[in-house]
Amino acid sequence: ISKNKGLNWESYNSGLNDLNITNLDYIDTIFICGTFSDGIYYNNGSDWIKNSNGIICSSIWSMTTTKRAIVANDNDYVYISNNGISWNNISPSVDDHFFYSVVSIGDTVFLSGEIKSILQRFIKYCSLSSDLWYDIGNKPYEYEANFYNIYTDSNILYAYFDDKISYTDNLGEKWIDISLPEEYCNNIQSFFIHN
């Protein structure tokens, strides 16, 4: 952790049993982290406390915070915690699947993944007020990739993989391609929006 914009760094690992951190997030003023093999932790100001009650698999792929909850996923399940203490399974019904990542806009959660047997990628969404999952309108690209990486900013959902980036602001009815020109070596691993 750095408390002075990166001028100095100090270890912030007290209480963590797995230092393979897959993601960091926060809700209100509490930091939470997902780990590769030991579930989810929250920080009480000095120590990390394991917080995985109700989580079946301990390899957390991604997390997101909404207005009223924390949502996390491993490759088989999507979990929600409304109180920060216990987790409940809210996974969509998908056969032979691999869930990759969750992101949110308000209280709507988006999930990317694939149906492994036919290598069919998907993006689903769920309003946490109904807990029902729906397929997003159209896919961003029909492309050879295991899954879509997804990212949100404001009310826009971005999907990216390999050399492609696109976005939608209407639940996938229309995707806008914003990929970099072909002369650049493109293998997009991550990006962020800075306003």
| Band of residue 146 on the pLDDT scale cut at 50, 70, 90 | low
Short-list 133, 38, 139, CA closest to 90? 133
Q: What is the DSSP letter of 181?
A: P
| pLDDT tens-digit readout, 107-141 | 999 999 988 877 788 999 999 888 799 999 888 87
Residue 88 has pLDDT above 80, yes or no: yes
Prediction pTM value: 0.87
Half-sphere exposure of 143 (CA within 13 A, CB side): 15
